[in-house]
Amino acid sequence: MGDDSFSKLLYILRMKNIKLWLILTLLLFTALQNSYAESKVRQGILHPYGLLWKIEKQGMEDSYLYGTMHVGDPRVVNLAPEVERAFMQADHFVMEVLMNFKAMGYMASASFFSDGRTLKDVMGHLEYKRLTSLVNKRIFLSEDVLKHMKPWAVLMLLMMPADQQAQSGAALDMVLYRRASQRKVKLTGLETAQEQVAVFESMSMDDQLWMLNRSIEEIDNTDAQLPEMLNAYVGRDLAQLVRIQQAFMYDDSEVDDRFMHQLLDVRNVKMAKRISPVLTQGNAFIAIGALHLPGEEGVLHLLEQQGYEVTPIY
């Protein structure tokens, strides 16, 4: 792919702030997998309610863990007084990935085939035609760029609901990041851009195509589900978010099971391990996707297993 096409996509990523970390949580609410979510709901969910949690251990200054939803809806971006107070009093801000220019450049580069293949080659004519029609309706992205992108990268762009794309620059995580930067507090990312990309690169080409094609089929249903997701999030109901997830899951493939294990469980363990030294320093405000919080394999319970006390504040 030519330098001009790469520059176009990087421009889109910068101007629209379409970031891999920004879209990850939205993926958790869409049509991904049935048996995984169903078993969680059936067994009951640890820490089912609350977005802001105080994390404490004797001898350490308290820190706060906040579950985010990566959209620009005012009900999400405008923080409750309890959350605003915890954020403003912290002297250390932590998020999933610090999305600086270097990280965005890496993600843009990793999004493209480098072996001569094109998306049309791997998708087939009919599927690719259906995709280009959808992309033309949802995203400002020329086919000259699209045809060189990997399936997982196109999926990331498509899964941002159409009515939220214009607000992407005001998404909660970016707002918090900018505000923390302006306050000149310490900034830390729990993951690198390379690690987040690796979650998707670890999928086979067949698995990437399966997820992309199924997501294209369900795109209208996914968009229609956003109001319910937002209401559950604003209501601080983590258990309901998991139930919404269940409603759009598939039980005819193991592809999504493998993906969700990497996207949630594996990353939760990594995040909890990397959060621990942050908590030792104290007075941190840690913002990660809301569905990383609840459940037996969620970050809150993993922190409890490390000896921390977690208390819902809001």
Domain residues of the chain, as ranges?
Answer: 3-312
**What's the whole-model pTM score?**
0.85
Residue 167: predicted pLDDT: 52
Here the tokens at position 313 are: 């504040």
Q: Tens place of pLDDT for every residue, the chain, 314 residues? A: 555 544 545 444 443 333 343 334 334 333 333 334 444 444 578 999 999 999 999 999 999 999 999 888 999 999 999 999 999 999 999 999 998 889 889 999 999 999 999 999 999 899 999 999 999 988 878 999 999 999 999 998 887 766 555 554 578 998 999 999 999 999 999 999 999 999 999 999 999 999 999 999 988 888 888 889 999 999 999 999 878 866 666 666 788 778 878 888 999 999 999 999 999 999 999 999 999 999 999 999 999 999 999 999 99
Q: List Cα–Cα distances, 303 to 24, 56, 184, 226, in angstroms.
A: 22, 10, 27, 30
Q: Give tens-digit pLDDT for 250-307.
A: 666 788 778 878 888 999 999 999 999 999 999 999 999 999 999 999 999 999 999 9
- What order do you get walking across the sheet with 63-68 strand by strand? 186-189, 92-95, 284-289, 63-68, 52-56, 309-312
Nearest to 121 by CA among 140, 146, 138: 146
